[in-house]
Amino acid sequence: MLERIVAWDNKILRKLAAKHTPALNRVLVLVTRSGNNGYIWFALSIPLLLINKYRMTGLTLIFAMVISALAGEVTIKHIVGRVRPCSRDFEKDLLIKHPAHYSFPSGHTSSSFAVVMVMFFMLPALFTPVLIYACLMGFSRMYVLVHYPTDVLAGVVLGTICGTVAVFVSPYIPFFSF
């Protein structure tokens, strides 16, 4: 079973590598870089933090990203230890600097979907654009060949869980109610 999943992962990445074009490369490298260290999502949280009506949403958004990073980057990546596809078969096609850490799950995707869930529950007006960008973020991680499709799918699941947990736990954190 695991061999079939790995073969499926590699087949999809080979197809994506064959579809690289200069225009797509520019756009998707920009998208993927916007997710480095959660920059795009922290940029979204700043105006929310500054507007009293949305402060709780901004705090919950940051909380969701922290939970996602602790679960994915600090814990799961080091337990699983999956080598990135660009370290195996796709080094020549790499469009960005080789990431230093393991591959599974995709941190860019998990933080993005943590934000999606916060928006779903707390600020539905932004849910659709955030969901679209989060999907684009996950796709970009495969396109630039630093994540397997299953890394991205795991990031979606992890982020969805972390964002949902953050929404339901944050009202009970005294600091959040200032």
Task: Check pLDDT > 70 for residue 176.
Answer: no
CA distances 31 to 40, 88, 135, Å, are 9, 24, 11
Query: With bands split at pLDDT 50, 70 and 90, how would you rate the model's confidence at 93?
Result: low
Length of the chain counted residue by residue: 178
pLDDT at 178 over 60: no
Residue 22 CA: distances (Å) to CA of 26, 32, 130 = 6, 15, 25
**Per-residue pLDDT, 117:** 98
Residue 148, classed as helix, strand or coil, is: coil
Residue 86 has pLDDT above 80, yes or no: no
Residue 167 CA: distances (Å) to CA of 40, 41, 162, 171: 20, 16, 9, 8
pLDDT digits (tens, 9 = 90+) for 29-58: 999 999 998 899 999 999 999 999 999 999
Q: What is the mean pLDDT of residues 102-120?
A: 95
